[in-house]
Amino acid sequence: MSAADRSYVAFVEVAWQRHIRLAMLLTGDRWRAEELLQDSLVKVYERWRRLSRLDDPHAYLRRALVNNHTSGWRRRRRESLVADVPDRAAPGDVGPDAVVLRRALMSLPAKQRAVVVLRHYEDLTEREVAQVLGCSLGTVKSQNARALDKLRHLLDEPSYAVSR
């Protein structure tokens, strides 16, 4: 095994744990998340010799995750993501509130969900989110505001937690 391959394997060991949750938040499903992360890691491997010299190859992987998810979402078009949300919380989640929040998050359009996840879960700045998504800072701000308004509305509805 070459030195580049060894460094890639070490990267994957760290990256898997670091990015699987992001992939799950984007997809709403453990199996899709694993597939998305695997596909994105393949793209990273194809460019590893160049990426391994970057300060943060995780940023490239994060962008690949979002782009691959958005591309897949566009291909599937009208597929209902809300129907795929599991009834139980994933390992590591706490209680029914996590399930309700995940369902509300999955009800957002893909781009809004990506903005919310990157901004509030990954704790990226608005500028960093704009870079990852390849859009303007204004788009990030407006998508975030719309998404948070929708989440607040959904989560404030007393019937939402019960009916979902």
Residue-level pLDDT at 156: 80
State which residues of the chain have pLDDT below 70: 72-96, 159-164
Task: Classify domain 1-79 by CATH number.
Answer: 1.10.1740
- Distance (Å, rounded) from C-alpha 12 to C-alpha 120? 24
Domains of the chain, residue spans: 1-79, 90-164
- Correct CATH for 90-164 of 1.10.10.10, 2.40.30.170, 2.40.37.10, 3.40.50.1100: 1.10.10.10
Residue/partner pairs of 134-138 with CB below 8 Å, 24 or more apart = 134/67
92 Rama class: left (phi>0) / alpha (psi -120 to 50) / beta: left
Q: Is 33 left (phi over 0), alpha (psi -120 to 50) or beta?
A: alpha
Is residue 43 within 8 A of residue 68, CB to CB? The reply is yes
pLDDT of amino acid 54:
77
CA neighbor of 63 nearest in space, from 110, 139, 136, 131: 131
Integer Cα distance of 53 and 38 in angstroms: 21
CA 108 to CA 120: how far, in whole Å? 15
Phi, psi values for residue 29, rounded to 5°: -150, 135
Residue 2: the pLDDT is 86
